Amino acid sequence: SAVISQKPSRDICQRGTSLTIQCQVDSQVTMMFWYRQQPGQSLTLIATANQGSEATYESGFVIDKFPISRPNLTFSTLTVSNMSPEDSSIYLCSVEDLLSGGYTFGSGTRLTVV
Amino acid sequence: AQSVTQLGSHVSVSEGALVLLRCNYSSSVPPYLFWYVQYPNQGLQLLLKYTTGATLVKGINGFEAEFKKSETSFHLTKPSAHMSDAAEYFCAVLGGAPLVFGKGTRLSVIA
């Protein structure tokens, strides 16, 4: 199955700053997905990133707050902008794994905003 | 639109006892169903999935789940719980859109 390298694994950031999270996949994939997992909660889809086009954002998420890049078929970044303590969450990227028929997830980025 | 309901945010079992984690779904199209496990401070690992064919699917670590269309359920079971099974478990449905997750069930295993 696909292997995803996600970094950083964790960070503590000051409010008002921005953090960029990177995901590298070991194979070419059409779509990459970005999720947020707030403390004690389930995963919520932020956006779907296709190579060569703008990301598609879910209700409640906007590009100004969570800009996404997808420069090629193996890489994507998610930026959390102008952070506040409410942004403290785990952020995960995911890809569809055609070999396994499931979805593979990165190990997540645990973000704490102080 | 699809949705997932996991009954019980926290389940506690004794070591060696049966594990049963409940998942009900709704989907307007034949669904693909998944169970993921999340160990503390880690990402999600796929336990098992149902796409088509046999309704009883076996996964890793001795877990299995049965797809029951009439009950719109996909409950996860394991005959004998082990201490290492303590984790958060998420049921997810794919019905023509990216995965939709349930709220998760935290499994505790008591020695």
Mutation for A interface: B93, B99, B105, B106, most A CBs within 10 A: B99
Minimum Cα–Cα distance from B38: chain A residue? A107
Q: CB count, 10 Å around CB of B12? A: 13
> Which of B34, B98, B103 has the CB atom closest to A42's CB atom?
B103
Chain A residues close to B104, C-beta within 8 Å: 41-42
Q: What is the DSSP string of chain A?
A: ---EEEE-SEEEE-TT--EEEEEEESS--SEEEEEEE-TT--EEEEEEEETTSPPEEPTT--TTTS-EEEEETTEEEEEE-S--GGG-EEEEEEEEETTTTEEEE---EEEEE-
Contact A45 B98 (CB under 8 A): yes
In the predicted model, what is the mean pLDDT of residues B30-44? 89
Q: Which tens digit of pLDDT belongs to each residue from B54-91?
A: 999 999 999 999 999 999 999 999 999 999 999 999 99
Instruction: Quickly state the pLDDT bin for B98 (edges 50, 70, 90).
Output: confident
Instruction: Quickly state the pLDDT bin for A99 (edges 50, 70, 90).
Output: confident
> Which of A43, A92, A101 has the CB atom closest to B49's CB atom?
A101
Per-residue pLDDT at B28: 80
Q: CB count, 10 Å around CB of A93? A: 29
Chain B residues close to A43, C-beta within 8 Å: 44, 90, 99, 101
Per-residue pLDDT at B90: 96
Residue B97: pLDDT above 70?
no
> Which of B43, B49, B51 has the CB atom closest to A105's CB atom?
B43
> Which of B43, B99, B102 has the CB atom closest to A108's CB atom?
B43
Instruction: For residue A31, give the nearest of A84, A98, A79 by alpha carbon.
Output: A98
Contact A42 B90 (CB under 8 A): yes
pLDDT above 90: percentage of residues in chain A: 81
Q: Which tens digit of pLDDT belongs to each residue from A18-39?
A: 999 999 999 999 899 999 999 8
Instruction: Quickly state the pLDDT bin for A98 (edges 50, 70, 90).
Output: confident
Write down the mean pLDDT value for chain B.
93
Per-residue pLDDT at B15: 97
